[in-house]
Structure 1
Amino acid sequence: MFAANPALVLNADFMPLSYFPLSLFNWEDAIKAVVKGSHVVVAEYDQVVRSPSTTMRLPLAIALREYVRPPARVAFTRFNVFLRDRFRCQYCGDQHLRGALTFDHVVPRVDGGQTCWSNIVAACEPCNTRKGRFRMKPLRAPFEPTQHDLMASQRLFPPNFMHETWLDFLYWDAELER
């Protein structure tokens, strides 16, 4: 009945807890969080739910009552490497779907290269195969991104489902048009 009515979950500073995946609760969990008191309703859908004693509009966006500090360091994952590199091969510069990219060591492991932020880039299969023979260098040196770096990249790849009113919460700190 209300399956298409998820609630955007925001931190106490009204920023999403996560962009990838977008922090969402199904409508039941959103109502439970509000009733329990851990979250407050920020915006509502027009649809209502009823219990024997209460009538409530479905939450569209909810925010935590207490701020949750994001992790100090970004997790070193394959997805975060691709996100840092904006799903572009760091050798040819072409953008690819996530499944078409590989996790590439700039300095190969056989030559002492480590599996770390400063030695891993996203590469397409053809470039990954050619780079050793042609001594290709990445277009941009690999680096350890900050939360801010990844959030800037995440904004370039909006989620598949997004209620139009969520834009106010997802991109509130984006530069305004002139």
Structure 2
Amino acid sequence: MTIHVSPEAHPALVLNADFRPLSYYPLSIWSWQDAIKAVFLDRVNIVSEYDFMVRSPTFVMRLPSVVSLKAYVKPSRTPAFTRFNVFLRDRFQCQYCGSREDLTFDHLIPRSKGGATTWENVLTACSPCNLRKGNKSTDEIGMHPFQMPYRPSVHDLHNNGRMFPPNFLHESWLDYLYWDTELEP
């Protein structure tokens, strides 16, 4: 799964005031129009620019490629329980067979047997596996997940998000992304 970003659109990477991306997946990017608006409203600092310029009758401006917020936005400590975040926690793959196609979610303990819709009971499954499992327990049907469902931290989701980079990463973004990867000698 990749995020489609068009280089011709000149998106701007958005960093928090501490120069870390607001999110990794989806990557925190703004359209060039939103970035320029934030510059004029004095909400961001321009960190890096494209070679491309926009013009009006009264000014010329290079488009920002990286901006940082002037005010720090405190990241949420607990991720929201959403379908997308369940998929991200499970790395966009069926936890029974590994497929990345036709994904849905499954209740480990079926709702018909008292299973709750919680982080600890919901996991990513492809439709064929979900249909095969039905309202049976994993022991009854002999299907066991690769990873048991759990409540992820924001850090867990960020780490998983780094595995799914967008199709386009401007060179000016690289100093602010993946800063914890091993450096080449």
| TM beyond 0.5 | yes
How many residues align structurally? Answer: 174
Alignment partner, residue 85 of structure 2 = 80
Amino acid at match of 1:168: D
Listed as ranges, the matches of 1:72-151 within 5 Å are 72-92=77-97, 94-97=98-101, 100-131=102-133, 132=136, 134-151=141-158
| Structure 1: tracts of 5 or more residues without a match | none
Give the drift of 1:52.
4.5
Give the drift of 1:12.
0.9
Give the superposed CA RMSD: 2.0
The structure 1 segments of at least 4 consecutive aligned residues displaced by more than 4 Å after TM superposition are none
Identical-pair percentage: 58
| Structure 2: tracts of 5 or more residues without a match | 1-6
Query: Which structure: greater helix fraction?
Result: 1
TM-score (norm 1): 0.88
Alignment partner, residue 4 of structure 2 = none
TM-score (norm 2): 0.85
Say if 2:168 is the partner of 1:161. Answer: yes
Moved more, 132-141 or 75-84: 132-141
Bigger relative CO (Cα 8 Å, ≥ 6 apart): 2
Cα separation, 1, equivalents of 2:73 and 2:12? 18
